[in-house]
Amino acid sequence: MSSRPATKPADAYHHGDLRRALLDAAMGVLEEDPGASLSMRDLARRLGVSHQAPYHYFRDRDALLKALGDAAIGDLLAAQQQAVAAQTDPRERLIALGTAYVDFAATRPRAFELVFDARLCPPDAPSPGRAPLIRANEDLLGRCIADLCATGWRPGADVEATALAMWGTAHGLASLVMGGHIPREAIDGVLRQVV
C-alpha cells in the first residue's frame, strides 16, 4: 500500500460549494457583460470543473437563471430590510425602503432584471423558493405603509392600494435610473415629494 495521498482528478472541484460558486460566477458574467450568453460549459471552465459538473446542481441554463433570480430577490429583500431597520421614523422608513429598491436596481441591474423576468418566474406562478421572498417583500412594504398611515398620514388610505402605488413609483424610478434618464442621486428627493 502506498503512503502517498490519493490525487484528485484534474477536473475535481476544490472550492467546497460548487452550487454557490456557479451562482456567483454566473452573476459575475451577467454583471460584467450584460449581452453575454451565459453558458454552463463556460462556467465549468471558469471554475475548473468538468463540463458536466454544473448539471449536478442545475438541469439547464434556465434552471440556473431561475436560481439566480431567487438569490437576487433575496438580496433585494435583505437590502430593503436593512434600510428600513436603520430608521425609526415611519416616513423615513418608507423613503429608505424605496431608496434601497432603486439603489439595488442601479448597482445590480442584471440581478434586478432577473427578479422581474416573467419568463423565468411567471407573476402568477412563482417558484416555491421565490414565493415566500415575494410575500416577505410585499409584507415589508405593507408594514411600512400601515405604520406611516397610523401617524395620520393620508387618513382613510387603502394600505394595499397605497403599497401598490408606492411599489409602482419605486419600480418606475428604478427603470428610469437604470436607463440613465434620471440620476440616482435624485431619488431621495423624489421619494420625499411622493411621501
pLDDT in tens, 49-65: 999 999 999 999 999 99
| H or E segment to which residue 144 belongs | helix 131-149
For residue 173, pLDDT over 80 is answered with yes
**What does the pLDDT read at residue 60?**
93
Helices (H), 8-108: 18-32, 40-47, 61-85, 90-107
**What does the pLDDT read at residue 8?**
42
**Single-letter code of the amino acid located at 92:** E
**What does the pLDDT read at residue 5?**
41
The pTM of the full predicted model, rounded to 2 decimals, is: 0.86
Matching residue, cell 439595488: 104
| CB distance 90 to 151 below 8 Å | yes
| Percent of all residues in the chain with a pLDDT value above 70, rounded to a whole number | 91
Q: Compute the mean pLDDT over every residue in the chain, rounded to the nearest whole number.
A: 89
Q: 9 vs 114, which has greater pLDDT? A: 114
For residue 110, pLDDT over 60 is answered with yes
Q: Which domains does the chain have, with CATH numbers?
A: 12-58 (1.10.10), 60-194 (1.10.357.10)
Angstrom CA distances, 152 to 91, 120, 148, 155, stand at 11, 40, 7, 6
**What does the pLDDT read at residue 35?**
57
| pLDDT tens-digit series, residues 20-36 | 999 999 999 988 876 56
For residue 151, pLDDT over 80 is answered with yes
- Enter the DSSP assignment of 4: S
145: phi then psi, degrees, rounded to nearest 5? -65, -45
Instruction: Centre a 10 Å sphere on the Cβ of residue 71 and count the other Cβ atoms it contains.
Output: 21
